[in-house]
Amino acid sequence: MSKPHNFSAGPGILPEDVLKQASDACINFDNLNLSLLEISHRSKNYEKVIDESHAIIKELFEVGDDYDVMYLGGGASLQFAMVPYNLLTDKGYAAYVNTGVWASKAIKEAKILGNTKVIASSEDKNFNYIPKGYDIPTDADYLHITSNNTIFGTQLKEFPKTNIPLVCDMSSDIFSRKVNAKDFTLIYAGAQKNMGPAGSTMVMVKKGALGKTGRKMLSMLDYQVHIKGGSMYNTPPVFPIYVTLLTLRWLKKNGGVAWIEKINQQKADLLYNEIDRNTLFVGTTAKEDRSNMNACFLTTKPELEAEFDKLWKDANISGIRGHRDVGGYRASMYNALPLESVKVLVDVMKEFEKKFA
């Protein structure tokens, strides 16, 4: 049986070439006749992996040496605590925009560490839109936003303009579109959607932004410690970082962010056009805020869900069931998902309408 059309929300699909190279490295890494899983992370062979991946990240973001990059464990969820721990001062406050479950969890952690204000929220409509027109404070220690919301299928199309440090959780749309990374003080992302497998988290921070909280820092939660250690203060998640490097190489080789952005737009246009055209489906989010990564939709005849489920399963489609907070369906179209997979899903939706409308 051929590989399914994988619309999983995360961990997400990886390029086939990346999977093959990663498999080879598990047996013989860098012509050492040793597995990547059994060599020292302090070896010169592995240090090259860390260094190259850091360099490609800065290249794809089009930033220079005025930013530091690090890999950490704990997923984006640990960053919900590490961001305020490293940026929020005792006498200051942090500003947050609440656009979904992950933003809400980030706010919860920040409130434990210090004064935290939610300056805008879409919770009133179950996070089915992105707040706009809100006032951004000029005296906050930082403003935290989430660029894409996997559960509710919304995405920021424009980023706030501010004179305070801007922090962004880009876990689910990093390197899927061009952004002006220099507008951000700190960007973080769990790797398991567009960058690589689960197990590592990328953090990029502008130099000069750290060391201002006044608190005595725990070493493992201190960004400066990890930067100084070159992402290897402790033993890093060796295999996830290597697979992330392979994915970054794949993206760079094929044309970088500009290349994949065009394809991602084609995929999103194709699917959303069908959702809007098809009498048996309806989108769940405000059209102007629809995510190019996670398309959430419902059938207009819930009693026929079992029939639709049978059709997409028979078409070798996987992972389109919606999150329990939204229901229905969610098609995640991360960088490695081929356009052909979206075409297959659209054909199934057309067949469903033809049979049951």
Query: Which of 68, 169, 222, 289 does the annotation list as catalytic?
Result: 169
Residue-level pLDDT, tens digit, the chain, 357 residues? 689 999 999 999 999 999 999 999 999 999 999 999 999 998 999 999 999 999 999 999 999 999 999 999 999 999 999 999 999 999 999 999 999 999 999 999 999 999 999 999 999 999 999 999 999 999 999 999 999 999 999 999 999 999 999 999 999 999 999 999 999 999 999 999 999 999 999 999 999 999 999 999 999 999 999 999 999 999 999 999 999 999 999 999 999 999 999 999 999 999 999 999 999 999 999 999 999 999 999 999 999 999 999 999 999 999 999 988 888 999 999 999 999 999 999 999 999 999 998
* 312 catalytic per annotation: no
Global pTM value:
0.97
For residue 134, give its domain range.
16-254
Q: Are strands 294-299 and 281-283 parallel, antiparallel or unpaired?
A: antiparallel
Query: Which of 68, 193, 206, 222 does the annotation list as catalytic?
Result: 193
| Domains: count for the chain | 2
Give the end of a domain, one of 254, 277, 305.
254
* 314 catalytic per annotation: no
* 102 catalytic per annotation: yes
| Same domain, yes or no: 265 and 179 | no
| Same domain, yes or no: 97 and 237 | yes
Question: What CA dihedral angle connects 53, 54, 60 and 64, to 10 degrees?
Answer: -150
CB 228 within 8 A of CB 102: no
In a domain, residue 9? The reply is no
| Same domain, yes or no: 245 and 304 | no
SS3 277: helix
Query: Which of 68, 102, 141, 267 does the annotation list as catalytic?
Result: 102
What values do phi and psi take at 65, rounded to 5? -80, 5
